[in-house]
Amino acid sequence: MKRDRSMKSKLTAALAAVALTIAVVSVSFAGPYMIHVAILTVFAIVLGLSHRLLMLAGQASFAHAAFYGIGAYVFALSTTSAGLFSWLALIAAAVACVAMAAIVGPPALRTRGPYFLVVSFGFVVVVGSVLHSWKSVTNGSSGIIGIPKLAGIPDLGTYYWASIVLLAIALVAFLALDRARWGLQLRALGQTPKLAEATGINPGFNMVLAFVVGAGVAGLMGGFYASYIGFVAPSAFTLWVSVFILSYSVIGGANHFLGPVIGAMYITLTPVLFNWSERFTPLLITASFAIIVFVAPKGILSVVKRIPRRFKETPAPELAGPSTDNGVTPLDFTGKRAPARLEVRGLCHNFGGVKTAQNIAFQAEPGEVLGVIGPNGAGKTTLFNLLSGFLKPKGGQILIDGERLDNLSPAAIVNKGLIRTFQSTVVFEDMTVFENILIGVWASRPASLYETMVTPRSWASEDVAKANEIIERFDLGAVAKLSAGSLPYGTKKLVGLAVGVAGDPRVLCLDEPMAGMTGAEVEHMVKILQRMKATRSITILIVEHRMPAVMGLCDRIVTLNFGQIIATGTPAEIQSNSLVREIYLG
Amino acid sequence: MFIVQVVFNGITAGATIALMSIGLTLIFSILGIVNFVHGIMFALGALVAHFATQSVGLDYLSAVVAAALLVGLFGLLLERFGFRRFENLVLEGAVFAIALALFLEAAMWAILGGSPRSVETPFSGVFRLGDLIINKHRLFVVVVAFTLIGALSFFIRYSRYGRAIRAVQQDPYAARLQGIEPHTISMLVFAAGAALAGIAGALIVPMQLALPDMGTAPLLLAFVAIILGGVGSVGGALAAAMVLGMLQSVITTFWSPQITLGIVFAATILILLVLPEGLFGRKS
Amino acid sequence: MTRLPQQFGRFARAALTTMGFLGVGITASSAEDSIKFGVMTALSGPAAAWGQAELASVEIAADDINSQGGIKVGDKTYKLNVVAYDHGYDTTKAVTAARQAVSQDGVKFLEVLGGAPMAAVMTITEPEKVLAFGQAEGNHWLKHDTNYAFKIVFSVAANARANHTYISQTDSGARIVQFFPDDESGHSISEGILAQGRELGLDIEQMFIPRDVTDFYPIITRIMMQEPDYIELAAMPGAQYALLIKQALENGYSGKFVFSSTMDTGALKKAGVLENTVGSIAAPAYFLQPTVAGQRWIDEMNRKTGGNVQAWVSSSYDSLLLLKGAIESAGSLDPDAVRDALRTISVEGLSGKVNFHSPAGTDLPAHVLVAPVPVALVSEYRDGNVVFSKVFDLKN
């Protein structure tokens, strides 16, 4: 693996050197027009990369051109009216956008999906309107002329070099973001939001942060633009500019960080190739745009990437279970937190007229394995949703070692140490098993902003070590590098369990961990759970339908029916309880 | 009396927005397509009406029907051969719609040129009730719009196909289990939405001029209406369209036409911040 | 698995840059016996109708010049070659198009539509010494130290002055409501006219209509509350104001109309309101019917654009005649020489003598196009035609 990586980096370095040489050499041959186009392409690429952050997190925004424009105007005004030094004005441009995004972002991102798209649409229209109408400041539609160049970058040639440097910095920076913890977290949020939230990734905060970072970079680019062209007008920052920035990621593919690079190059360079002065240019450009999106809906890179994968896919190995195991050796993990006591008092919830939880009260002792059973529709998953914060209770309390959980967000609850798994959304399908588990590890390891956004995640040795430990203990080493979505269902569920355990839970809620598994897989899972139970280091709640497993595994069992607890006790007590018998058998 | 005039102006404006937004919301909620091509269909309806009356010599009402049929057919083909590929890819489908809309508009500019076309209406002139001026054609538009919307609501609520549509809207898989083919429903819904847009264009064109970009502004307002009303709710789209039409009328008359769009957007954003799912939306 | 996309990205960049400098080599050569005149305008988007008309006018001028032997410089004869660029009113595209025109396509003279695009293009043409004609309102892009940019747009304010002076003398105290498009040119024009009108003591209210609005009922309801005596149309396309007039009449407007930029009788007739505008006041600098050349130009425009005749683009025609004259007078294509010649030359344009001058009371160079002095006319309807009689001449 190490040799592979150094080969890859050598190849990358060689290619970078070649590209740089071409960039250097070609400028002596290229006329001002091509240099201008190259500079614009660099701007487009950086805009695309910065916009992609929020797209990774699953939200598409039309607001980017507005920040581009705000940055440009801030630069223009602070240099022409306030006489600020150009590089300071550039910083001012970025700061202004960060501030604006920090104000607008949180309320705007309470809406999601198409609603957020329309809000961002509205934002760019409103900003454009302000630029047009606030004549005393912005000079309206006529724009601001005579914007000075950045000090030290006086002409076209030096601008070209400056933009090459800018491109290199941007590529490195966004690649770093992609390789850092945040890159994976954003991707998790965008692909499988519910599961991401259940591993402690706060959607609101991360989306706003992505929005703000993107806006800051866009503002910076706005300053570059203003100083390069020397003139700004509202018509350069319209909704259409936003639409095109969005399309960079769609055309190139948002999944890989080079996607917007490809898309930006395509959109910026095709008009050049088709030649501006042709009458049919708009037709050709828009036609090619539509065709590409039609042929490759997930982006060009997704098509390109599919090809090697087709040759590479080998069926995932069946997991036969740990080779050395007949007894129940405890499944220990390093640095575990002590298990917690979970107490539920008077928990109530309803969906309209349907009472899903009626005064539910029980407790689970530290290290205990508590089973939750009941017929379909009894409210078991609802209970788990209430415990983990995905539903807000209408009344009652949930306490973990005396601390209240009942009004916290799912991510906050994970932080407190209560982790749950899902019945159907088990893993992050498009990520490797290792990545899945690494995300799980982060649930209990908060990191500084620098560590989250800058440090490559492969360098966070403690996190990596912990993930590898989990993989080893769960015997997932053979599949660690494979994509989780390609695994057989039983193995996926095992990975899901591992992800939950990786977060060092004090209370672990497993929602039907054995559903859909074959007989052998169930046996394997039961063995693992027995070994976890033997350590008594996690309080485990488990919803299950497989009675033999439940009876064998649990210390105590709670039985639900129609949202009420009808019986609590040891497995033996429950089995002989007539009420329980009735609802299950008669 | 001016107030009544303002209200009536608002109803007229709202009726147009309603015709556009109802098709749009159905298409979005059932097919998951953010249909940026809707504005083009509006323009196509106007153009069909123009050519039907000028070149083919049809009377106006037949021209409106022709617009409905031709644009509806266009919508059907577009769904089958274009948007079908973007099932479950909402964002990519939206970008495709944008690209397609840009292409079609550019094509219309290239083929038809920049001179605006017009259509004559048989309902020219006005009714006067005291100080109140009611343009006959506008009254016609309002009547037709409400009739169509009423018929559509009735159809969706009580007919078999309407039930099928609602089934697919709620759960395509379950619908399939009941013997409903979601793809057929998708085509029908898209065709119906397109036909509505085409009718809107044909109805409006006598009051303005047919240009390739005439659909952009109605499309924008229609989007605002469906988001405001809550995606998927026909009643919500209608209510929101009326609210927007009234807002436009009031703001233009009592303040100025320039700030109308800005205020409409600002109001929508504020409402969304309080009700993130729109006025009548349900959590998806 | 990330190797292939990385390679792809890098190679793509390298390949395209290579294509770039090859592309320069291929297109760098320009024909020796033609002068390229670039037209940077809006050929797509909302202003496309304006751009199309402007381009048509320029092409008609080029055809006329070429058919009469072209442009003579010394003993060489040059044909005028019109190259069109679409900026869609986007200033970034305008700059890119200008770069292409100047650096790649060998364009030596160009015309730009729109004040913001003009200012954007000038960031390139001024340092590169390329003569640029601005078909644009606005006072910010033409300055006292501007070297190579000329303003060829007819001043609507000058036209309006004739109308307003007439009104102030015959109907002082009248209330005028003016309509402008809610865009850059609309606002620039409105400022000039407002100052002028106030100076003449007129009661003026200005309304701005967003370009895509054709439902004028709400705004008409509003102005009817103020009971205007005159509705003045300035800088709106004929088809749009014909609709406005029609809807105003439907709403019971019984006052007069004032046309300060164009009076598009064709559009008014089509909308069925031509008779209702009898008695209206118009300024005819845009009225090219009285001259033979003007009528011919109108017919050519009709034929070329399919009915999209906009009188203000006649200045594009006239400015090409001025360019021809200046080049021939200077005897060279040197930008400084041609510029100096442009400042002094005058030619017979479509509606009379035209030349560039420095407007009184400004420190601008002689770069602003001067049209025949406006007069105000009042219309009558005679034998199914609209006929105008002069009522006021600003010269007096």
Distances (CA, A) of B230 to B98, B241, B264: 22, 12, 16
Could you read off the pLDDT of A219-269 as tens digits, one per residue?
A: 999 999 999 999 999 989 988 899 889 989 888 888 888 899 989 998 888
Q: pLDDT value at position C102?
A: 93
Q: pLDDT value at position C32?
A: 53
Rg (CA), chain B: 19
- The H or E element spanning position B21 is helix B2-31
Nearest CA distance, B269 vs chain A (angstrom): 6
Packing angle of the helix pair B136-158, B234-254 (nearest 10 deg): 160
- Let me know if B58 is exposed, middle or buried by CB neighbors in 10 A (0-12, 13-18, 19+): middle
Please tell me which residue, A59 or C281, carries the higher pLDDT value: A59
Q: Which residues of C touch A281 (CB under 8 A)?
A: 86
CA nearest to A231, candidates A83, A90, A79: A79
- Six token digits for residue A130: 């302000």
Interchain CB distance below 8 Å, A233 and C120: yes
Q: pLDDT value at position B282?
A: 56
Could you read off the pLDDT of A109-151 as tens digits, one per residue?
A: 988 877 788 788 888 988 988 898 888 898 888 889 989 999 8
Q: Which residues of C touch A26 (CB under 8 A)?
A: 17-18, 20-21
Amino acid at A441: V
Q: Which residues of B touch C239 (CB under 8 A)?
A: 116, 118, 209
- The H or E element spanning position A565 is strand A564-569
Q: What SS3 string covers A125-161?
A: HHHHHHHHHCHHHHCHHHCECCCCCCCCCCCHHHHHH
Could you read off the pLDDT of A153-169 as tens digits, one per residue?
A: 888 889 999 999 999 99
Task: Provide the 3-class DSSP secondary structure of residue C111.
Answer: strand
Chain A contacts in chain B segment 88-147 (CB below 8 A)? 89-96, 98-100, 102-103, 106-107, 109-110
Q: pLDDT value at position A4?
A: 47
Could you read off the pLDDT of A390-405 as tens digits, one per residue?
A: 999 999 999 999 899 9
Please give the sequence-ordered ranges of beta strands (E in DSSP) within C182-300, or none if there are none.
203-209, 230-233, 256-259, 281-282
Q: pLDDT value at position C394?
A: 65
In the predicted model, what is the mean pLDDT of chain B?
A: 85
pLDDT band at residue B233 using 50, 70 and 90 as cut-offs? confident
Q: Is residue A115 within 8 angstroms of chain B, CB to CB?
A: yes
Please tell me which residue, C395 or B19, carries the higher pLDDT value: B19
Rounded to 5 degrees, what are φ and ψ at A507? -130, 130
Q: pLDDT value at position C25?
A: 37
Q: pLDDT value at position C288?
A: 56
pLDDT band at residue C2 using 50, 70 and 90 as cut-offs? very low
Q: pLDDT value at position C389?
A: 72
In total, chain C counts a number of residues equal to 396
Q: Are A31 and C104 in contact (CB under 8 A)?
A: yes
Residues of chain B with pLDDT > 70, as a percent, come to 97
Interchain CB distance below 8 Å, A26 and C20: yes
CA nearest to C118, candidates C145, C144, C146: C146
Is a pLDDT exceeding 70 seen at residue C8?
A: no
Tell me how far apart the alpha carbons of residues A97 and A70 are, in angstroms, rounded to a whole number. Answer: 7
Is a pLDDT exceeding 70 seen at residue A203?
A: yes
- Six token digits for residue B55: 């070149």
Q: Are A510 and A496 in contact (CB under 8 A)?
A: no
Average pLDDT over residues A174-184: 92
pLDDT band at residue C23 using 50, 70 and 90 as cut-offs? very low
Q: Look at the domain C2-154+293-365 and name its fold.
A: Rossmann fold (3.40.50)
Chain C contacts in chain A segment 225-244 (CB below 8 A)? 225, 229-236, 238, 240-241
CA nearest to B70, candidates B50, B92, B95, B91: B50
Tell me how far apart the alpha carbons of residues B191 and B80 are, in angstroms, rounded to a whole number. Answer: 10
Could you read off the pLDDT of A471-508 as tens digits, one per residue?
A: 988 888 888 888 898 888 888 999 999 999 999 999 99
Could you read off the pLDDT of B77-104 as tens digits, one per residue?
A: 999 999 988 887 887 888 889 889 989 9
Interchain CB distance below 8 Å, A232 and C103: no
Is a pLDDT exceeding 70 seen at residue A309?
A: no
pLDDT band at residue C31 using 50, 70 and 90 as cut-offs? very low
Q: Are A42 and A165 in contact (CB under 8 A)?
A: no
Name, in order, each residue with C-beta under 8 angstroms of C130's C-beta and a sequence gap of 6 or more: C102, C107, C108, C109, C110, C124, C148, C335
In the predicted model, what is the mean pLDDT of chain A?
A: 86
Q: Which residues of B touch C46 (CB under 8 A)?
A: 213
Packing angle of the helix pair C217-224, C238-250 (nearest 10 deg): 60
Which residue of A lies nearest to C105 if distances are taken between CA atoms? Answer: A277
Amino acid at A153: I
Interchain CB distance below 8 Å, C138 and A142: yes
Nearest CA distance, A465 vs chain C (angstrom): 23
Q: pLDDT value at position C15?
A: 44
Tell me how far apart the alpha carbons of residues C196 and A559 are, in angstroms, rounded to a whole number. Answer: 87
**Residue among A110, A250, A283 minimizing CB distance to B92:** A250
- Let me know if B135 is exposed, middle or buried by CB neighbors in 10 A (0-12, 13-18, 19+): buried
In the predicted model, what is the mean pLDDT of chain C?
A: 81
Please give the torsion angle defined by the CA atoms of residues B281, B222, A58 and A483, in that order, rounded to the nearest 10 degrees.
90
Q: Is residue A126 within 8 angstroms of chain B, CB to CB?
A: yes
Which residue of C lies nearest to A16 if distances are taken between CA atoms? Answer: C10
pLDDT band at residue B106 using 50, 70 and 90 as cut-offs? confident
Which residue of C lies nearest to B16 if distances are taken between CA atoms? Answer: C215
Interchain CB distance below 8 Å, C308 and B135: no
**Superfamily of segment(s) C156-283+374-395:** Response regulator (3.40.50.2300)
Nearest CA distance, B62 vs chain A (angstrom): 32
Interchain CB distance below 8 Å, C308 and B113: yes
Q: pLDDT value at position C372?
A: 67
pLDDT band at residue C17 using 50, 70 and 90 as cut-offs? very low
Interchain CB distance below 8 Å, A143 and C28: no
ipTM more than 0.95? Answer: no
In total, chain A counts a number of residues equal to 586
Give the start-to-end residue ranges of the domains of chain B: 15-212
pLDDT band at residue B173 using 50, 70 and 90 as cut-offs? confident
Please give the sequence-ordered ranges of beta strands (E in DSSP) within A281-353, or none if there are none.
342-351
Q: Which residues pair with A543 in a beta bridge?
A: A372, A511
Rounded to 5 degrees, what are φ and ψ at B72? -65, -45
Rounded to 5 degrees, what are φ and ψ at A525? -60, -45
Maximum average pLDDT range among A50-59, A515-524, B235-244: A50-59
Interchain CB distance below 8 Å, A119 and B103: no
Interchain CB distance below 8 Å, C218 and B115: no
Tally C-beta pairs within 8 A across A and C.
Answer: 167
Q: Is residue B6 within 8 angstroms of chain A, CB to CB?
A: no
pLDDT band at residue B152 using 50, 70 and 90 as cut-offs? confident
Maximum CA pair distance of chain A? 91
Q: Which residues of B touch A122 (CB under 8 A)?
A: 224, 265-266, 268-269
Interchain CB distance below 8 Å, C8 and A258: yes
Substitution target in A4, A43, A80, A142 with the highest count of C β-carbons within 10 Å is A142
Average pLDDT over residues A544-556: 89
Tell me how far apart the alpha carbons of residues A148 and C332 are, in angstroms, rounded to a whole number. Answer: 34
Q: Is residue A262 within 8 angstroms of chain C, CB to CB?
A: yes
Could you read off the pLDDT of B247-278 as tens digits, one per residue?
A: 888 888 887 777 777 787 778 778 777 877 77
Q: Is residue B113 within 8 angstroms of chain C, CB to CB?
A: yes
Q: Is residue A29 within 8 angstroms of chain B, CB to CB?
A: no
Tell me how far apart the alpha carbons of residues B268 and B158 are, in angstroms, rounded to a whole number. Answer: 32
Q: pLDDT value at position C16?
A: 46
pTM of the model: 0.86
Q: Is residue B114 within 8 angstroms of chain C, CB to CB?
A: yes
Q: Is residue C215 within 8 angstroms of chain B, CB to CB?
A: yes
Distances (CA, A) of C32 to A33, C29, C35, C80, C107: 21, 9, 8, 12, 12
Name, in order, each residue with C-beta under 8 angstroms of C157's C-beta and a sequence gap of 6 or more: C189, C192, C193, C196
> Among all chains, which residue has been given the structure tokens 């890179």?
A301
Could you read off the pLDDT of B110-138 as tens digits, one per residue?
A: 787 666 777 888 887 788 887 777 888 88
Please tell me which residue, A101 or C218, carries the higher pLDDT value: A101
Q: Are C128 and C121 in contact (CB under 8 A)?
A: no
Q: pLDDT value at position A433?
A: 93
Q: Is residue C372 within 8 angstroms of chain B, CB to CB?
A: no
Least confident of A186-195, A238-247, C178-187: C178-187
Interchain CB distance below 8 Å, A297 and B85: yes
Could you read off the pLDDT of C299-355 as tens digits, one per residue?
A: 888 888 876 777 788 889 999 999 999 999 999 999 999 999 999 999 988 877 889
Nearest CA distance, C68 vs chain A (angstrom): 26
| C-alpha distance across the termini of chain A, in Å | 59
Which residue of A lies nearest to C6 if distances are taken between CA atoms? Answer: A258
Neighbours of chain A (3+ CB pairs under 8 A): B, C
Is a pLDDT exceeding 90 seen at residue A19?
A: no
Interchain CB distance below 8 Å, C12 and A145: no
Q: Is residue C377 within 8 angstroms of chain B, CB to CB?
A: no
* Distance of alpha carbon C266 from the chain centroid: 19
Chain C contacts in chain A segment 278-297 (CB below 8 A)? 279, 281-282
Name, in order, each residue with C-beta under 8 angstroms of A78's C-beta and a sequence gap of 6 or more: A84, A88, A89, A92, A93
Residue-wise over A3-39: b if at least 16 C-beta within 10 A, else e?
A: eeeeeeeeeeeebeeebeebbeebbeebbbbbbbbbb
Q: pLDDT value at position C156?
A: 78
Is there a common fold for C2-154+293-365 and C156-283+374-395? Answer: yes
Q: Which residues of B touch C212 (CB under 8 A)?
A: 213-214, 216-217
- Six token digits for residue C393: 């001449």
Interchain CB distance below 8 Å, A286 and B273: no
pLDDT band at residue A540 using 50, 70 and 90 as cut-offs? very high
Could you read off the pLDDT of C238-269 as tens digits, one per residue?
A: 778 888 898 888 888 888 898 887 777 777 88
> Among all chains, which residue has been given the structure tokens 């009379």?
C352
**Residue among B102, B265, B276 minimizing CB distance to A115:** B276
Tell me how far apart the alpha carbons of residues A84 and A223 are, in angstroms, rounded to a whole number. Answer: 13
